[in-house]
Amino acid sequence: MSTWRLECGACGEEVSRRGATVCPSCRKPLLARYDLGSLDGPALREAWATRRGSMWRFRELMPVEDDEAPVTLGEGETPLLEVSVPGDAADLRLFVKDEGQNPTGSFKDRGLSAAVTRATLDGAREFVIPSAGNAGAALAAYASRAGIPTQLFIPEDTPEGVARRCEHYGARIERVDGLIDECGRRSAEYAERTGAFNVSTLKEPYRIEGKKTMMLEIVEALGWEPPDAIVYPTGGGTGLIGSWKTLDELRELGLISGGTRLYSVQADGCAPIVRAWSDGSADAPKWEDASTEAWGLRVPGALGDFLILRALRETEGGAVSVSDEAMRDGARRLGAAGIGACIEGGATLAAAEALRRSGDLAAGERVVLFNTAHVLTY
Ligand SMILES: Cc1ncc(COP(=O)(O)O)c(C=O)c1O
């Protein structure tokens, strides 16, 4: 039985669940809080092990009631692959969570399956999202699965193939002269004008709930021994915040002890979280003139900046930026290990190597890299 309430991640205000977006008082992201005390952790672990088919096998920690059906395309259950890559990270135990193997080719499927499920149950009649491509394709696919139309706002310079992929799943597309933040403004206006539900990153509480299943699967695959560290390619940060949340929930359920250090990787040309981390700030001011080939990382300002930074601090992790060239090289070397890595996935290998050189990661540690999309999505 799943039951949850929503609270503001900044001011803690409790907010009514139906059609929830952001905190009505401070406009910051909302977080779902489950009644963990009413759940039997070991019994859940057994039940989860007997279920297969999608990330919804973890439904007790997800935003659906027992009698509600999720909007699913079989997302999740992606492999955690141990890899051996020559170079500065060669003495780590490296694993890749290969999220390219999701229905539309990226980890965005998890978050959008959860968000579309909840919004559809709450009566949404149209969706809108700003996207660099992967979230747009995922939203369109899940919305179409639910029989609901999607409007996308994408940056003008989005490659034609990426836009086509979104259209394939039934999205209407408008190209915007600007980056993702300008697309975000246009999406908010559109939602205001038409009543469409805005599924923009952290403008609703449930994409985090879908993304957090990545960490549930990782911990389960490692025999309920959380990894020493994860390296996450960070744009808006939903997966990172979700991973942090999962670890807390599993600890509270008595299913794990100990922790995992969370590390963010961003691009040298757009690194607001890395800059805020090294300045010791609690939030991350907007990065001007953002530029990187890693579209998923070209996010100059994240609504959940304060949550990302809190997650890094509380887990004793950190943040590092890498060049586009190092990301491309990382993706190529993961490719040589058989992984269909996108450039953001390549960034995690480059970052793990930088963190090993700096001594943040120690020889023999179990470190999980996130390959967030398939190379073919580009
Ligand atoms: C391939 C890829 N990796 C990483 C990211 C960043 O993810 P998040 O917004 O969860 O930080 C994105 C977001 O667009 C993406 O498409």
C-alpha 131 – ligand 1 centre gap (Å)? 10
User: Mean pLDDT across the stretch 163-181?
Assistant: 94
Same fold flag, 80-106+206-377 and 108-198: yes
Q: How many CB atoms lie within 10 A of CB 54?
A: 20
User: Mean pLDDT across the stretch 127-139?
Assistant: 95
- Mean of the per-residue pLDDT values of the chain: 96
C-alpha 66 – ligand 1 centre gap (Å)? 30
**Distance, CA of 198 to CA of 27 (rounded, Å):** 14
**Distance, CA of 303 to CA of 358 (rounded, Å):** 29
CA of 106, closest atom in ligand 1: 1
pLDDT band at 179 (very low <50, low <70, confident <90, very high): confident
Query: Which of 3.30.420.40, 3.40.50.1100, 3.20.20.140, 3.40.1390.20 is the CATH number of 80-106+206-377?
Result: 3.40.50.1100
Angle (CA) 335 340 345, round 5°: 85
Flag whether pLDDT at 3 surpasses 80.
yes
Domain ranges of the chain: 80-106+206-377, 108-198
User: Mean pLDDT across the stretch 165-179?
Assistant: 95
The answer to whether the pTM exceeds 0.85 is: yes
Flag whether pLDDT at 2 surpasses 80.
no
Read out DSSP for 29-55?
A: BEEEEE-GGGS-HHHHHHHHHH--SSG
| For ligand 1, mutation pick of 207, 287, 308, 344 (most atoms within 8 Å of CB) | 344
Ligand 1 atom 14: the closest Cα is on which residue?
A: 296
Q: Tell the burial category of 147 from Cβ atoms under 10 Å away from its Cβ (0-12, 13-18, 19+).
A: exposed
Distance spanning both ends of the chain, measured CA to CA: 40
Flag whether pLDDT at 42 surpasses 90.
yes
Query: Which of 2.60.40.2300, 3.30.70.3420, 3.40.50.1100, 3.40.718.10 is the CATH number of 108-198?
Result: 3.40.50.1100
**Which strands sit side by side in the sheet containing 197-198, from one edge to the other?**
172-176, 150-155, 127-130, 197-198
The closest alpha carbon to 208, from 251, 183, 170, 240, belongs to: 240
Q: How many CB atoms lie within 10 A of CB 283?
A: 17
| For ligand 1, mutation pick of 99, 108, 152, 377 (most atoms within 8 Å of CB) | 108
Are 246 and 360 within 8 A, CB to CB?
no
C-alpha 370 – ligand 1 centre gap (Å)? 10
pLDDT band at 143 (very low <50, low <70, confident <90, very high): very high
pLDDT band at 1 (very low <50, low <70, confident <90, very high): low
- Percentage of the chain beyond pLDDT 70 is 99
Tens of pLDDT, residues 205-246: 999 999 999 999 999 999 999 999 999 999 999 999 999 999
Are 351 and 265 within 8 A, CB to CB?
yes
**Which two structure tokens, joined as six digits, stand for 75?**
């997302």
